[in-house]
Every structure is written in C-alpha cells, then in structure tokens.
Structure 1
Amino acid sequence: MVDIDPPSGPSASEEETPTRRTRVVVIGAGFGGIGTAVRLKQSGIDDFVVLERAAEPGGTWQVNTYPGAQCDIPSILYSFSFAPNPNWTRLYPLQPEIYDYLRDCVHRFGLTGHFHCNQDVTEASWDEHAQIWRVHTSETVWEAQFLVAATGPFSAPATPDLPGLESFRGQMFHTAAWNHDHDLRGERIAVVGTGASAVQIIPRLQPLADTLTVFQRTPTWILPHPDQPMTGWPSTLFERVPLVQRLARKGLDLLQEALVPGFVYKPSLLEGLAALGRAHLRRQVRDRELRAKLLPHYAFGCKRPTFSNTYYPALASSNVEVVTDGIVEVQERGVLTADGTLREVDTIVMGTGFRMGDNPSFDIIRGKDGRSLAQTWNGSAEAFLGTTISGFPNFFMILGPNSVVYTSQVVTIEAQVEYIVSCILQMDQRGIGSIDVRAEVQREFVRATDRRLTTSVWNAGGCSSYYLVDGGRNYTFYPGFNRSFRARTKRADLAHYSHVEPVSPTALATARETVRSR
C-alpha cells in the first residue's frame, strides 16, 4: 500500500471546508499524474499535490482488474523512459505488473507525500480576478496557480442505455468494475461488446461458463499475439547492460512509427496487416458461418485492432454463441434481440468501453467565463497540441484532444509533461502570472489537424469508432509521427498565449474573502 498524507485542517463535517494553497494541482494518479509529478519535482517545482479518487495511485491499471487484463503495447515501451524496468516478466505486461510498476515509481521518486488519495474532485473553477484555480474535494478546497487534468480517457466506464436494463434480476457489471466476489462457474453468461477488454475476458469466461453468449455489434480485427516471457536472459541482460533496454525501446518505437504512413496518409499500406488478420481468422475458425460473422468489413485500423491467440478458439467452442442481431431490450431473466429470440442469462458482463467524448470530468472543470469544458466543447473536443484550451488559463490536459500518437500513450504523456514544465519555467523566468492559448492559435491547430486526418484510416476506413464525435470529426489522434509531436512540445512558445501579470497578495486575499462570503 502507498502511504498517503491525510489532508490537514478541519474535517469535511465542519461548517467551513478548509482551504489549502499549493502551486500545482494534478487530478489523477495514473501514468499522466505520476509522470507529471516526477517531472515537476525534477524541475525544482516541489509545491504540488496529486488528487486521486481511488485508494491508491495506478489509474486505469488500479481499476481494471478483470481476469486477463493486459496491455497491448510492449512493456519496454509502455513505461517511463526515465524509469526503465529490467524485470518485466512478459513482453506485453499484465495488469498486476503495471500496477506494481506505477506504485514503485511513486516510491522511487519520493512522491508519496504529494499524493492525496480517496479525494474525489467535485469542482475545479478558474477565478479570473484572483488568477487562481479553486479545486474542491469533499474535504478541502485547494487554491493553485496551475491545474493539470490527468484523468485519462479510460476513467469512466460506458454502459449502453438498453431498454429494461434496470429490470434484469441477475448480476451485471462492467469489465472496469469487475465483481470478484461473484462466482461465474457454471453460469449462463452474456458479454455485451467485442472491443479490446472483451477480447481479453472472453477466453477466460468460456471455460467457466455453462453457456456464453457474445453480443457483437461490429467485429474487431485480431492479429496473432506476439507475447512471450521476458524472464531469464532478457531480464538479466537488461539489468546488467541498461543500454540494451534503451536500444530495444528505441527499436520498438521505430516499429510503431513505421505504421504511421498507413494509418495517417495511405491506408492501403495496411493491407498486409489485414491479410494477416484474415489468415489468422481462417486458421483458428473452421466454421464458415461463424467466420463470416467475425470478419470485419471495414479497413484494418479504422477501429482499434488488437492481439489474441485465444479469442477465436473461445468463440468457436461448443458452449459459445456469437449473436449479431441487435439487442432490443433486457428483460428480468435475459436479453431479447431483433430476431425475436430471448436468451436467458444469469450474468451480464459489459465490455462496452469508456465515456471518451463525454467524460464526467469535463462537467466539473470551469474556465474564466464560468463555462465547463463540456459546455465549451459542446460534443466536439478541441485543444492546442492536445494540451491547452482557450478560455482555460493555466490549465493543462494530459491526453487531451488530438494528442494521441500511434505508439505507447506514455510517449505522448512524457511529451506533454515536458511542454507543461516548459510553460511553468518560462513563466517564472519572465514574471508571468497566467497564460491562455489564443483562440486563433487553437483554431489553426484544429483546422490543420482536421485537414491532415481527412484521408486517415480512422476517418476514411468505413467504420464508426470512439475516435470520432457524432459529426465525424476525429478528436483523438495527432496527424503524424510521434517525433513531430515531441518536437512541437519540447519547448513551449509563449507567443501562442495571452499573458497576465501575477496577482498581488492583497488582491488575492480580497478574492478569497469574496468567495467565502458568497
């Protein structure tokens, strides 16, 4: 367990919530929050807190504990460049190992005292007069010059609004809220969805279930899984010669970069991977009817592809049925589909992904005009370099709109954190109190991004995915190589921002009294 310093001051039950002052508030303690904390401390900025709603740091890898949870990026690349781990046991790490790695980073870099867990942020608002952020939890109001949202895109499970769902009498839970106390052995189990989480959980459920019914709306491209153990000589070599691990990371990074031309510029370059996926399906599924259900009819990469050597064999098992008819409603004892069939089940597992475009955190963060991120974006998230948003001074977002490069998201996080630290240090050097990205700068970034993504496989691949908003805009990806993104975020250009001088202590004290008297 990570030891967490409890907030000081009066308890939340007292009439007035205590107010505490810090330089930087970071919301979220996953890769983004921990990476931000490390770089702040390394840069000499020690006055910061990380607020985490869960009991421990770890982010999505603390929450997603379903059986078989595994990263689909190699462990050497899905880790901080400044904190290599020579002791990964697998090429593609499982959830417990990533979780342990993140907690170890908190200890290794002396961050424990900065983390405040079991602190759910209920509101974060910018005070234009005082030039500060006020961040509310149930126990404390934090006043800070800077706010970093490291809440992550996979922090709010999405449950489909199916008619009659509340009437179901059996067990129901999402893969991101796994019920480990419920025994699934011998049950009639339904899995709704066939995305990355479902691909991992279905092979674990099939041997346990009496019957397993998989409700598939759209098939997923599946490739052979290249996972293998890393124990033995690879671990020994990495530990004794750290340069080898750095070179391996660089090689994997270049391999991921080699896919960018196909994903962003010319999707026909991905046909080789599509052929590999079709061959993998033919080899593992002999039944033609089932094979037809499982073959995607959109371009490879349009939706998130994944790896598995066990998914297709599980679906081909005698106790498994793949249903492609749409769900009409959920009834007390089962699921009714459009073909009129009621399939009785004991447990429903939702493998339905996350609330990407309408994450609840967008409702609680309010900028200088009092409008929330959700109101400002109105269903189409936009930002500059995926990191700053016009109208939200001194606010930075990790893995924000159009920041994702086609590699490990940790690469994106490190680039964004470098940009954040660059902003803060330059502001200190020049005596600037706050910065707000100019609206025309953000608009030009969005226009250029939209233009370059027009021919990408995500936009033109013939599918509907969580990468796109309802209007079809791709708000997820950066349109190019990660080297380009890292170059643009290495040092902030404050000419892109409007500046405000620091607020005097007297004005700040007056603003505090005004807030308290409301």
Structure 2
Amino acid sequence: MGAPHDVVIIGAGFGGVGMAITLKRAGVDDVVVLERAETLGGTWRDNTYPGAACDVPSHLYSFSFAPKTDWSRRFPPQREILGYLEDCAREHGVLPHIRFGADVRGARFDEHAAVWRVDTSVGEIAARVLVSACGQLNRPVVPEIEGSAQFRGATFHSARWDHDVDLRGKRVAVIGTGASAVQIVPSLAGRVAHLDLYQRTPPYVIGKPDRAYRLWERTVLGAFPGVHTLSRAKTYAQYESRAVGFVVNPKLMGFMRRRFLRRLAEQVPDVELRRRLVPDYPMGCKRVLISDDYYPALTRPDVDLVTDPIARVTEHGVVTADGTERPADVIVHATGFAATDFLAPMRIEGRDGRELGAEWRNGAQAHLGITVAGFPNLFLLYGPYTNLGHNSIIYMLESQFRYVSACVRAMRRHGLASIEVRPRVQERFVRAMRRRLSGSVWEAGCASWYQSADGTVVSNWPGFTFAYRRATRRPDPRHFRVRRAA
C-alpha cells in the first residue's frame, strides 16, 4: 500500500480538479485524485445529451484563478466547458496526480495511525486527509415502471446518452421535465419523427439571454484583463441579487411569476396547452429553468405534452393511466439524480466505527457543508447546505477550496495528526440552517431534489454566497478537536 499520501481527493470534476490546483498552489504536492472513469470532467463528462449547456454565464462558471476570455457564447455548451476543465488540469499540472479507473468503494479511518484507508478497485490507498469531490449530481435516477424490461427499443438516462442510437425517423418518449429535458426537447424536435414529453410537474422556464460573443469582444476581453474581471463582477452581482427572493422575502417571487405568465402566453398561444404548463407551486420552490426554445418546441405538431401519469411500459410504447398507449422506439429518462445521498454508495467509516450512511439516515449534516463530527480529517466539497438556486456553484466551491487548504496547511504547520469538528459546533450550524430554510421559498410546499426522503431541505445554502465566503474565510481553531502527531 505504501506510505500515506498527504491528501487523497475522490472525483475529478470541477471540485476535484479545483481542489488539487488550490492545494498545489499552497505548496501541498503529495495529492492524489481518484477518478472511477477513464477521463476527467464529472457531470460535464457524463452529460453529453443533445443541447447540453450551462445555465450560468461562462464568465462566472469558471475558476477565478483560471479566467477564460475566449468563450464562444455567454452560456457555453457542454463540450466547451469540459475542454476548459481539461485545460485547467493540464496547465496547472494536475493530470499526473489523477489515477483514472480507480473506483472508490469505501474508506475507513484508522484511529491508531490517524489515516484513511481508502478501498478502491485498484487496491487500498492511505491518506492523511480525505476529500470527497463527488458532487450532488452523479448518480442518475431511473424510476421503476412496470413493464420496462419488456420494452424492445433503446432506453437510457439523459446522463448516459447512447450516441450509437440513431434517432432520425424514430418516435421518442422523454420522461421528465427538469433541466436536462428543457434542453433535450428543443434539440430533438424536428429531428425525430415524433416526440412525446411525459410531464409529472411543470417547471418554471424563464428566458435565456444567450448569444455568441463577437470577435471584437473576445479580443478586448483577452487584451484587457480588467474588462473580464468587471464582466464577472457584474454578472455575479446580477445573480446574487436573486437571493433576496429565494431566502429573504419569497413574496418577491410573485413579481417574477407574473413575468413568467406573460412570457408563457406569448410563446404558447394554445390556451389548453398553456394551462398544463403553469406550475401550481410558488416560483423558486423547485429549480427555475432557462430556455428560449422549450415552449416553442412544445407547440410543434410533431411534439405532444402528456400529463396523464405513466401506468406501464409495453414492448412498443408507453401506457398512461387513462389506458392510452403511445408508440415509442426510444425512451429517454430525464429523471434527475439521487442528489441528497451525497457520498453513497461508498461506505465511509469514521471514529469509533461510525458509518456515515447511518449517521445521515435522517438527513445529511455537516458543518459549513464541509466537515462532519466523528469523521476526522474528512472534508466534503459541494456537501449539504451548499447548493444554490441563484448563483454559480463554482463560487461556493472556491470558498471550500480555501477552507480545506487552510485546514491542511494548519495540520502541517502545527504537527497535527487529526482534526475533527466538534459535535456542538455542527449541531449549532445545522439548527441555524434549518431555521433559515424554514422561511425560504424552497420550503413553500413542493417536492424537489433539494429535499431528503422526509421532505427536509438539506442541499441548499439559505443566504447570500458572499456570506458563505465570509463564513469559510478561515477555519476557527475553536471549532475543532485536535490530536497532535506522536
């Protein structure tokens, strides 16, 4: 197994690559990144469905320490984002630190040695510090539908798109109306023979101010770094202001809803179709989506919106509760992810034999979404209470990078074998999150992927991102139990 590494990171997406870069810049060179796939990229490697793109502007959906001035569009497509992350890993020397094809099955904290024993598909690896950068959107959910095994056509999840299936001339059933479906449907409409979109709950879809950057704009951005910094700051301020409606005064979302209804009426003239597209829950309770071509696609004669519940799947199609069978050659599940399971299905054992899944059976908990009582030297990126509904997750990740890096450097500087957040500190933080979330739009009476099985919101940060940056500016030594190295 060899000597323990200073830091082992699980996952080579934005979180893992950014964490490795930050540690290297801080002088921590003994870093290993474990990636189960054969390439890096995380969600931007996995989601290659037609129309896949970001819903955060490019100047904000990128690392502050690695600005890119030649994005092709304001909202970049999947391939360009993946290329950016690959460039970051290569230019900052992270690629040699990544072990591809290393699937992490679990990890156990060895209290005597104060190291994590990480069980992987390529053998056991020891780490003084373990960082999970698995993200929240990495485990696709495919609903159990009666008869699915009988279906003779192709079927796959949007995050596992089968590009070998030729969709031309096919009848396609898309199940789900989340962020992926809003991009998939317009991309397939007009290319396939017919498309049936199965909707359980209509989303709020607002306009997408997207456009290609002109050559002169890219030239100016590249020549004058201050212009890029100003563009990033302006975009950040615009998106940050939306937190007022999400967590400060949800009643303000009523204004946004009225704008949504006016735009929907403009794009969908048919009264009956429009009625089925109006959500019956407060705006913002579920993820608000952006698209300029989703609603126009639904008005096409070769696209049908199906709102009757799915009863079963047959050999040749989908049957709804009213008994209607609609033929299908391909079924696409745009049905989201197991977002609140966090580190599952890995088995993580901490101090005194504690198992993280059991500790979190009533909902995930972590101080600042990063550290967990009972699990020394374990840090989470994009953990509970760190997701956003209004701004760029990259900003939150960078806050976490700094916090984790400071903890690692403090351990080295003071000769600490382990640090562990105090239970009381974690409990106080979780109580504060629950109190603040109770007044947010996310707890306004709808079911969403932000919630755990019992309906508790455990994913989202109930405040401004700059407040999170301030809270994670530096680790407070009083928050931790420490054990010095022998």
TM-score (norm 2): 0.97
Residue of structure 2 equivalent to 1:433 = 417
Residues 177-216 of structure 1: pairs in structure 2 closer than 5 A:
177-216=160-199
1:453-482 deviation line (CA, Å, top 9, x unaligned): 11111111x311011123222101112111
More deviation in 339-348 or 361-370? 361-370
Query: Which residue is equivalent to 2:121?
Result: 138
Query: Partners in 2 of 1:110 and 1:138 — Cα distance?
Result: 25
**Matched residues in 2 for 1:20 and 1:190: separation?**
52
Q: 1:276 to 1:115 in 2, by over 3 A?
A: same
Mapped contact 2:134–2:343 kept (Cα < 8 A): no
SS in 2 for 1:80: coil
Of 448, 453, 456, the residue aligned with 1:473 is: 456
Correspondent of 2:253 among 264, 270, 286: 270
Kindly provide the CA deviation profile for residues 1-56 of structure 1, in whole angstroms up to 9, marking residues without a partner as x. Answer: xxxxxxxxxxxxxxxxx445311000001110011001100000000101111111
Give SS of 1:498's match: strand
Alpha-carbon distance between aligned partners in 1 of 2:228 and 2:108, rounded to the nearest angstrom: 43
The reply to whether residue 456 of structure 1 matches residue 440 of structure 2 is yes
> Counterpart of 1:415?
399
Q: Does 1:98 align with 2:81?
A: yes
The whole-number CA distance in structure 2 between the counterparts of 1:389 and 1:331 is: 46
Q: Secondary structure at the match of 1:464?
A: coil
Letter in 1 for 2:183: Q
Alignment of 1:215-364 (within 5 A): 215-359=198-342, 361-364=344-347
Does 1:25 find its partner at 2:43? no
Aligned equivalent of 1:446: 430
Match of 1:124 in 2: 107
Partners in 1 of 2:47 and 2:13 — Cα distance?
12
Aligned residue type for 2:432: A
State the Cα RMSD in Å.
1.3
Match of 1:513 in 2: none
- TM-aligned CA distance change 1:424 to 1:337, over 3 Å: same
CA distance in structure 1 between the aligned counterparts of 2:187 and 2:467, rounded to whole angstroms? 40
Taking the aligned partners of 2:355 and 2:300, their CA distance within structure 1 comes to 49
Is 1:395 the equivalent of 2:378?
yes
Instruction: Give the Cα separation in 2 of the matches to 1:389 and 1:491.
Output: 17
- Aligned to 2:196, what secondary structure does the other structure show? strand
Matched, 1:47 2:33: no
Displacement, 1:362?
4.8
| Alpha-carbon shift at residue 114 of structure 1 (Å) | 0.6
- The answer to whether the 8 Å contact 2:310/2:320 transfers is yes
Equivalence map 1:151-162=2 (5 Å): 151-162=134-145
Counterpart amino acid of residue 434 in structure 1: S
- Show structure 2 runs of 5+ residues with no match: none
- 2:467 matched residue in structure 1: 484
Alpha-carbon separation, structure 2, partners of 1:20 and 1:328? 56
Letter in 2 for 1:155: N
User: Which residue pairs with 1:59 in the alignment?
Assistant: 42
Q: What residue identity is the alignment partner of 2:190?
A: P
Q: Deviation string for 1:406-458 (max 9, x for gaps)?
A: 31000010000100011111222222110111111111100011101111111
Report the Cα distance in structure 1 between the residues aligned to 2:436 and 2:142, rounded to whole angstroms. 32
Cα pair 1:52 1:117 within 8 Å, conserved: yes
Q: Distance in 1 between matches of 2:251 and 2:216?
A: 39
- How far apart, CA to CA, are the structure 1 residues paired with 2:394 and 2:343? 23
Is this contact kept in 2: 1:156–1:360, CA < 8 A?
A: no
Measure how far apart 1:73 and its partner are.
0.2
1:379, 1:220 → 2: CA distance?
28
Q: Note the C-alpha offset of 1:359.
A: 4.6
Match for 2:146: what amino acid?
P
SS at match of 2:416: coil
Structure 2 distance, partners of 1:40, 1:361, is 25
What is the SS of the residue equivalent to 1:309? Answer: coil
Which is worse superposed, 119-128 or 68-77? Answer: 119-128
Contact 2:116 2:130 (8 Å CA) reproduced: yes
Q: Residue 181 of structure 2: SS of its match in structure 1?
A: helix
Q: State the 1:331 CA deviation.
A: 1.9
- Tell me, yes or no, if structure 1 residue 382 matches structure 2 residue 393: no
Secondary structure at 1:251's aligned position in 2?
helix
Q: 2:60 aligns with which of 77, 80, 96?
A: 77
SS of residue paired to 1:369:
helix
Q: 2:335 corresponds to which letter in structure 1?
A: T
Q: Contact 1:390–1:436 at 8 Å: present in 2 too?
A: yes
Letter matched to residue 257 of structure 2: A
One-letter identity of the residue aligned with 1:190: A
Cα distance in structure 2, aligned partners of 1:203 and 1:245: 31
Q: Which runs of 5+ in 1 are unaligned?
A: 1-17, 505-518
Q: Distance in 1 between matches of 2:419 and 2:346?
A: 22
* TM-score, structure 1 normalization: 0.92
| Closer/same/farther in 2, CA of residues 19 and 428 from structure 1, 3 Å limit | closer
Contact persistence 2:4–2:115 (CA under 8 A): no
Q: 1:164 to 1:360 in 2, by over 3 A?
A: farther
The worse-fitting range, judged by mean Cα deviation, of 325-334 and 37-46 is 325-334
SS of match in other structure, 2:195 = strand
